[in-house]
Amino acid sequence: MLKNPRIKKILHLSIPAAVNNFLDIVQLLIDMIMIGRLGASAIAGVGISLQFVGLIYTLLSTFHVGTNALVSRFVGAGNKEDAGKVIFNMMIMAFIFSIPIMLIGIFYSKNLLLLMGTDEEVASIGGRYLSIISFTIPLLFMEGVFYSSLNASGDTKTPLKIGITSNLINTFMNYVLIFGHFGFPAFGVEGAAYATVIAYISEFFIYLYVFLRKNASIKIFPEYSKDLIKRALRVGIPSGIERLITYSSFLIFVKIIADYGTYTLAGYQIGLRIEGLAFMPGIGFTIAAMALVGQSIGRGDYKEAEQNAITTVKIAAIFMGILGIFMVLIPEYLCIIFTDNPKVIEEASLYLRIVGVSQVPLGVAFVLSGALRGAGATRITLTVNALALWFLRIVPAYILSVLFHNIIFVYFIMVFETFTRSFILWYIFKKGKWKNIEV
């Protein structure tokens, strides 16, 4: 199986991408462990601030997907000059778009947290953290263009190496600046923010070096092109809207589950963290599908594009299916890593046992969404994923929750929605209308 050139290429792209995303989760856990030593208010303040950071990442997908769709096509067609033009122009757009977000974060962080219903102390702590890291938002947006460009060109190892370096810098600087070591004062929560800023700045300049070096596989070509911007945004904007709708739907879903009490909510959060680790292979295969489909279309080989997507779907289904088996059979052993509270473990295990059976269709939905985005069919993924989340998950879950007030029905709705969405995406992909979309 591993001797198959197509499978080797898919794994070559997807594994580094999956590990890179896994490292992001690990870094977040390390940050929260260190901040946790500062007290409950620090945890709450930074935690609520990260909700806004998550919102920023949803907006980033506009530039991720738009860049990926065009760069992968140009690389597939052997036209690296136009690929470089896309990078340059999307960097400009990302920078311009990020400025108002940066200013809001710097000057209105505390007000945003107060609007979330936090108390004065938590809003003050979280506001200081968010306002400091907001200075690097333009770098974060431009870095997203670099990241997606490398993935689109078939290089997922370089972002992984940069991610490892950034995480090491962030962890070390957290230790130094939060608690005060090596002659530095203990800055507390502000130290965690400064560490993140240093890591983001370092990451950006490493990416810049990668693109500016003489032997770079893909380079920035500084030529303004209104046409390329329009083409990239035509693909990217629907993806950004999709991510924004998805993110908001998740927040509402949490509100539905919160009505069942603290233990159920805590169990859901732990279950979600464990399931998030299972997402990593799916995300890696999604990135691989986007790049391979886009490159194949760039070469004008739509049959290869379809075969790459279908093979990636099969591999993702196997990986996530195996993880789903562990979630169904031994959820308690996974949960004790996060808590020793028997009631929370019971609630988290219930969640994992039910959603574990949907990991295969979830992998299918991940990869097919990525394949369609790589083909430029982001309006299709926006329509399917948004409508499915709201009308097959949120609304039915709310209705059943009101009628029966039993969390099992809510979780069953999640599984039903995942299966249904994967079948819809499969049907749309096999129909092949994505082959006629111009980017």
Which pLDDT does position 1 carry in this prediction?
55
* Structure tokens belonging to residue 248: 């908001």
Higher pLDDT, 274 or 96: 96
Which pLDDT does position 226 carry in this prediction?
94
pLDDT-based confidence at 233, cuts 50/70/90?
very high
Environment class of residue 3 by beta-carbon count within 10 Å: exposed (0-12), middle (13-18) or buried (19+)? exposed
| Cβ proximity of 109 and 41 under 8 Å | no
Give phi and psi for 432, each to the nearest 5.
80, 15
pLDDT-based confidence at 251, cuts 50/70/90?
confident
Residue 51 clears pLDDT 80, i.e. is over it: no
pLDDT-based confidence at 115, cuts 50/70/90?
confident
- Nearest Cα to Cα of residue 45 among 111, 110, 140, 122: 122
Higher pLDDT, 306 or 119: 306
360-390 tens-digit pLDDT: 999 999 999 999 999 999 999 999 999 999 9
**What is the number of other CB atoms lying within 10 angstroms of the CB of residue 145?**
30
Residue with tokens 């009490």: 261
| Cβ proximity of 194 and 176 under 8 Å | no
Residue 137 clears pLDDT 90, i.e. is over it: yes
Query: In angstroms, rounded to a whole number, what is the distance separating the alpha carbons of residues 56 and 59?
Result: 5
Contacts of 27 (CB under 8 A, 6+ apart): 167, 170, 171
Which pLDDT does position 339 carry in this prediction?
77
Contacts of 223 (CB under 8 A, 6+ apart): 85, 88
Which pLDDT does position 351 carry in this prediction?
95
pLDDT-based confidence at 116, cuts 50/70/90?
low
Which pLDDT does position 117 carry in this prediction?
66
Q: If you average pLDDT over every residue of the chain, what do you get?
A: 91
- Please give the share of the chain, as a percent, with pLDDT higher than 70: 99
Which pLDDT does position 67 carry in this prediction?
95
179-196 tens-digit pLDDT: 999 999 999 999 999 999
Residue 87 clears pLDDT 80, i.e. is over it: yes
Least confident range of 44-53, 125-134, 279-288? 44-53
Question: What number is the average pLDDT over the span 43-64?
Answer: 82
DSSP assignments along 355-408, one per residue: HHTTHHHHHHHHHHHHHHHHTT-HHHHHHHHHHIIIIIIIHHHHHHHHHH--HH
| Cβ proximity of 16 and 155 under 8 Å | no
Least confident range of 51-55, 56-60, 297-301, 344-348? 51-55
pLDDT-based confidence at 41, cuts 50/70/90?
confident
- Nearest Cα to Cα of residue 272 among 194, 344, 172: 344
**What is the number of other CB atoms lying within 10 angstroms of the CB of residue 328?**
16
Least confident range of 125-129, 145-149, 274-278, 307-311? 274-278
